[in-house]
Amino acid sequence: MTPSFVVAAPSSGSGKTILTLGLLGAFRRAGLAVASAKIGPDYIDPRFHEAATGRPSPNLDGWSMRRDRLLSLAHEAGQGADVMVVEGVMGLFDRAAERGVDGYGGAAEVAKTLGLPVVLVIDVGGMAQSAGAVAAGFRAFDPDVEIAGVILNRVASARHAALSQDGCAAAGFRVFGAVPRTAGLATPSRHLGLVQAEEIEGLASILDAAAGLVADHVDLPALRDAARPLAAPPAAAPGPPARPLGSRIALACDVAFRFAYPHLLDGWRRAGAEIMPFSPLDDEAPPVGADAVFLPGGYPELHAGRLAAAAASGTACAPRPRTASRSMASAAAT
């Protein structure tokens, strides 16, 4: 059973994504086989995980997925790995306002479903000993969530780190590391979220720098010791996440249309469908013979001029093909 833990934070912007990437790279530098997963409906972070680990990184969406699928995907992701890091979403206890298939989808809820401890990333910019009070408040909010310890992020100096660690120790928390504030070490963002991994020049250098930073300032053996095996997998593997749209599905696939959950496509393949990728951005028409066309979400608005000028991509691929434009998140509901 793969030792695993969840990386979460009090809020978005605390640095959990870059620290997660750093942890993945640092564990890999240490000679470990590393797996990852991302909590929530996020199409971008998993691709960064994959660049850091060289392995698929699934989404674990507690709002749209049933418990058996969450566990099945997590166990599949962790197979053959020495450690698995699961990145949370937003703040630890943030969740959907309305209940989904099996839950509300927050990181805390998914951590409990998976039976995993949480490592809390606290941005200590503008505080010191108060970091202990922040961690204590999160522990008290839901005692059923196991907080194994904290990583202090964006510390300004050795003294700042020591004061912040004192506050956490006074509150009874283990500090796994104190990571200094580092100018320029971040993943670029845009109006709807992060820039996609394949769009970033020098991504390997960013990942390498993050791995080095974490290796120098985080106690990796202690973190691995604090990890726990996943909860038992479901007795039977869940069926396809959604019925295939057709027997031969033309899938728009480029930087304009990228937001497709891999587990959904894999489920369609296992159900007997053929997935036929094409690129509208490269002026490619849907393959001849497709009986369904799927346009996943993405950033088509950033490429509107190029898409509007395309000619071949508007050509019919078969008589009256059925077009599907619903979101992958809704299609993944089971």
Q: Residues of the chain with pLDDT > 90: what percent? A: 74
- 216 and 281 assigned to the same domain: no
Q: Which residue has the tokens 């979400």?
A: 297
Kindly state whether residues 47 and 181 are assigned to the same domain. Answer: yes
Q: Is the pLDDT of residue 326 over 70?
A: no
Looking at residues 109-124, what average pLDDT do you find? 98
Q: Are residues 64 and 105 in the same domain?
A: yes
Mean pLDDT of 280-289: 94
Confidence check: pLDDT of 147 > 60: yes
Structure token digits, residue 327? 């979101």
pLDDT band at 186 (very low <50, low <70, confident <90, very high): low
Q: How far apart are CA 132 and CA 44, in angstroms?
A: 32
- Show the tokens assigned to 96: 């959907």
Per-residue pLDDT at 240? 78
Q: State how far the Cα of 140 lies from the Cα of 246, in Å rounded to an integer.
A: 49
- Same domain for 144 and 14? yes
7 beta partners: 87, 119
214 part of a folded domain:
yes
Same domain, 275 and 141: no
CA–CA separation, 80 and 166 (whole Å): 38
Integer Cα distance of 181 and 202 in angstroms: 21
pLDDT at 328 over 50: no
Give the pLDDT of residue 294: 96
- Of 39, 42, 101, nearest to 73 by C-alpha is 39
Q: Is 232 inside any structural domain?
A: no
User: Tokens at residue 211, please?
Assistant: 């791995």
pLDDT score of 190: 47
pLDDT above 90 for 325: no
By percentage, how much of the chain surpasses pLDDT 70? 88
The pLDDT assigned to 324 comes to 40
* 199-256: pLDDT as tens digits: 666 788 889 999 999 999 999 999 999 999 999 998 888 887 889 999 999 999 998 9
| Residue 237 belongs to some domain of the structure | no
CATH number of the domain within which 45 lies: 3.40.50.300
Confidence of residue 104 (pLDDT cuts 50, 70, 90): very high
pLDDT surpassing 70 at residue 48: yes
User: Helices 16-29 and 45-53 meet at what angle, rounded to 10?
Assistant: 20
**Do 99 and 37 fall into the same domain?**
yes
Q: Is residue 243 part of a domain?
A: no
pLDDT digits (tens, 9 = 90+) for 58-88: 999 999 999 999 999 999 999 999 999 999 9
Shared domain check, 191 and 315: no
169 and 222 both lie in a single domain? yes
Residues 6+ apart with CB under 8 A from 113: 62, 67, 70, 71, 103, 231
Do 315 and 280 form a contact (C-beta atoms < 8 A)? Answer: no
Shared-domain flag, residues 18 and 131: yes
Are residues 163 and 254 part of one domain? no
- Is residue 321 in a domain? yes
Q: Which residues pair with 4 in a beta bridge?
A: 84, 228
Last residue of a domain, one of 226, 256, 291: 226
> Is residue 233 assigned to a domain?
no
Task: Give pLDDT, residue 255.
Answer: 87
Asked, for residue 159, whether it belongs to a domain, the answer is yes
| More reliable by pLDDT, 278 or 198 | 278
Q: Which domain holds residue 35?
A: 4-226
83 touches 227 (CB < 8 A): yes
User: Do 21 and 117 fall into the same domain?
Assistant: yes
pLDDT at 241: 83
Has residue 124 been placed in a domain?
Answer: yes
**pLDDT, the chain, mean:** 89
Range of weakest confidence among 54-58, 173-177, 188-192: 188-192
- How many independent structural domains does the chain possess? 2
Q: Using 50, 70 and 90 to split pLDDT, how confident is the model at 332? A: very low
pLDDT in tens, 286-323: 999 999 999 998 888 888 999 999 887 555 444 343 44
Shared-domain flag, residues 95 and 140: yes
